[in-house]
A and B are shown apart, each in its own frame.
Chain A
Amino acid sequence: MTPAAPHRWRIEVVRDATPRRRALSLAAVMLLALALCGLLLRAAGADPGTALAALVRGAFGSLNAATETLVRATPLIFTGLAAATAFRARVWNIGAEGQVFAGAICAYGLSHGLAGLSPLVQLPVVLAGAMIGGAAWAGLAGLLKTACRVDEVISTVMLNYIIVYVLSMLLLKGPWSEAGGFFEQTAKVDPGSVLPVILPGTRLHLGFALALLAALAMQVLLARTPLGYEIRGAGSNLRALSVQGASAARILILVMILSGLLAGLAGATEVYGVHGRLKAGAITGFGYAGIVVAILGGLRPWGVVGAAIFFGALVNGGTYMQIKTGVPSALIYAFEAIILLACLAGWAAAGLRIRKVADAV
């Protein structure tokens, strides 16, 4: 065997990768991700084909399944928009998880005294409460950053842990716990505060329409308003913006508030649209999943909607898959992470080229 000519691999940055290159690279990495997911399915003792078929049927197999997918997608649209808005400005709000809790808590706190009043009174209070709660919890992290230089990644994560205990205090033998109940949850909320179903015969509720409306609003805000202009500018070169007189602190706080109020709405749709009572299990996990949705959606509002429906389908189909094949539905969360990693790698790889260069003697 002759030894190969000495060479080394060098990775070079490609400026302005073409859209085709991006798409190809993304497709390649996604295929790899799917193959990995297939391996996981096999490891769990299932036939990937059967399991995948069950997953698709569970997600879209009937009108009921499809609307259920949209129901699952609804909170993810909100948290995805929350993460996308913050990330567009390069503000690392990892706290959508906690802001969903804060939104739900505030909505319940403001509205549960209004039982019996007209939905026209209760619904606006629920939605406003959710926005206020989420915005306040996120704004706190913003203030910590601008006033005390606490990195927002750390503060939002810490606040995520803290609010879980706040809710637990309110619910476990606390002021809001269900009378005579064993579980950490409130009693059923007043029917007048429940988000109405918009497609009779299904569980698809007003929250989904609101989520689409929020996506539209964010699209217009980002593309056409001065605030959106500043958010996009901050993500690209915040310094140039402040040299021209914009206040970096003001942008940060506004972004956190906007992001928080979107996340807070997810709390309201789950409590008042799906579960009908406030409990931790009803609102856990959407914040972190929203980050995946935002990245997969390319940080664009309509991309977020698409990605959220995709993940809604995964979660919805995953449950069906567990029933049909015995594969734990927790697999979906591993899927999410793998797809996020693949997505990140795909984008980055499009901007790189690996070249063989001759090695010197």
Chain B
Amino acid sequence: MTAAPPRLEVRGLTKRFGALAANDGVSFDVAAGELHCLLGENGAGKSTLSACLFGLLAPDAGEIRLDGQPLNAATPAQAIAAGIGMVHQHFVLVPAFTVLENIVVGTGRGWRADLAGGRRRIADICGRYGLALDPDRRVADLSVGEKQWVEVVKALYLGARLLILDEPTAVLTPEESDRLFAIIRRLTGEGIAVLLISHKMREVLQSDRVTVLRRGRVVATVVTADASGDDLSRLMIGRAVAPASAAAPAAAGGEVLRLDRLVPDRAGRAGAPISLTLHAGEILGIAGVAGNGQDELLETLAGLRPPLAGTMHLMGLQATGLGAHALAERGVGYVPSDRFRDGLVPDFTIAENLLLGRQWQAAARRGPFLGAAQMRARARAAIADFAIAGGGPDTRSGRLSGGNAQKLILAREFAKARHLLLCNQPTRGVDIGATEFIHRELLRKRAEGCAIILASEELDDLLALSDRIAVMSGGSILGTFPKAGADLSAIGRLMAGQGGRAA
């Protein structure tokens, strides 16, 4: 180590939201040319920290230094001017613009849009770090991986010396993620400091050092080479990781669902035909990177989009093309991936949200009116059964946290799912406690004889719960593995859309 100050130095950074300290005296540093990882569970304070660094939030106390100079960025403009670049978790791109326009917009001086100059500088940057980007393609036409490169080039174009990557691989295939890391290494080789925010152990282990956050505090900063994945997990969670609750294989019951060359509608284009059967008391896991056809498949099964071809049988009866309402009546429950967009009405109370979908049923009514007492009683039962914290039957559901909102949806959909439960990313963005709860409930539902389709990006979820795992990529199911023979590397290859058909 030389005497030069670190690229980034954070000392005693504190940010409070009301009584909650999202960051509490956080201190760490990142050297020039270092790949430094910020590891923590959802809610550990990673996003708050990066927002403070980038001038999106004003810290309540503490100091941030960049190359020894105090940085007090009150706006992103000041953070950028100081040399901080940020690649956000969700792409911040304009689909209708070209790559060039996306990178150049908001930069430059004078009245002209200097596209020619921008084109030259982009070629420079791409050449130096080994990226292939066609500046004239529309961003809407790019693959997810290519969009990620655009984001990186955008930050470099603005002259970033410290690059913050906020969960950059959440949407990448393992192969694309490898390419990203190769590029990150070229960046650090050129002296750029990279701060990687992640909770994926595979990525974390590629860094130089790791700072672990838990409940807003720094638990430790360790040299990655000196630590194992298990060590880091323990630091992150604060206890040993519970072994996957290996479920006893259930006795396969009767057939619940049979798909015969069912073709989901993928934004007007036909997806690949999908055939599968599912039995009572069985959990079929669907592995795959988000956006590879899981949403379309589950929405088709839930009756939200009519299939373009093929047939679907539920409990032996023809169910092709039935709407959401009809399928719900036949005992299908559906937990959507975007729970706030698709799952809840924020202005409704918990009791009203539990009624969603049943508002016209005679059982829910007394004459022409909705049965208020009955609604409340049902809500009280659901709150107790599903440990929904944060309110009573008359609480607006918009006030619930992510985990509790998800429990509310589970309570409703479990009640509907007499035969089939469709779960899309049920643990996305919920904390460890809620995740364990959701796992237990899914296994309980399975024990009751319900057939379950569980789509998740978290392989841990799938390995813990599934009887079989199907891998989706590019809209088709590329292979199905029995749980016993699940081979992680084979699953990974299929998720990347390559490799032959498995057993």
A residues sitting closer than 8 Å to B (CB atoms) are: 8, 16, 220, 224-226, 229-230, 232-233, 235-237, 239-246, 357-361
Contact = CB atoms under 8 A, between A and B. Distances in A.
Interface residues of B, number: 38
B359 A229 contact: yes
21 contacts: A225-B369, A229-B352, A232-B348, A233-B348, A233-B352, A235-B347, A236-B347, A237-B344, A240-B345, A241-B345, A244-B325, A244-B328, A244-B356, A244-B357, A245-B324, A245-B357, A357-B74, A358-B74, A359-B74, A360-B74, A360-B78
A147 B168 CA distance: 42
Nearest to A234: B345
Contacts of B344: 237, 240
Contacts of B328: 244-245
B343 A243 contact: yes
B267 to A, nearest CB: 17
Contact of B370 (A226, A236, A240, A357): A226
Nearest to B399: A16
A232 B348 CA distance: 8
B contact face: mostly helix, strand, loop, or mixed: loop
Nearest to A16: B399
| A-B interface, 3 closest residue pairs, ranked by CB to CB distance from nearest | A245-B325, A244-B357, A236-B347
Given A233-B356, A245-B328, A358-B74, A225 B348 contact: no
A245 B323 contact: yes
Contacts of B325: 244-246
Given A229-B370, A233-B356, A360 B72 contact: yes
Given A244-B357, A245-B328, A358-B74, A224 B399 contact: no
Given A16-B399, A230-B359, A240 B343 contact: yes
A241 B345 CA distance: 8
B360 A226 contact: yes
A226 B365 contact: yes
Contact of A233 (B71, B324, B336, B345): B345
B303 A224 contact: no
Contacts of A361: 72
A236 B334 CA distance: 20
Nearest to A237: B345
A245 B370 contact: no
Contact of A237 (B346, B357, B368, B372): B346
B336 A243 contact: yes
B109 interface: no
A99 B143 CA distance: 50
Contacts of A240: 341-345, 356
A80 B328 CA distance: 37
B315 interface: no
Nearest to B416: A244
B359 A232 contact: no
A232 B356 CA distance: 12
A8 B75 CA distance: 10
A229 B357 CA distance: 11
A204 B364 CA distance: 42
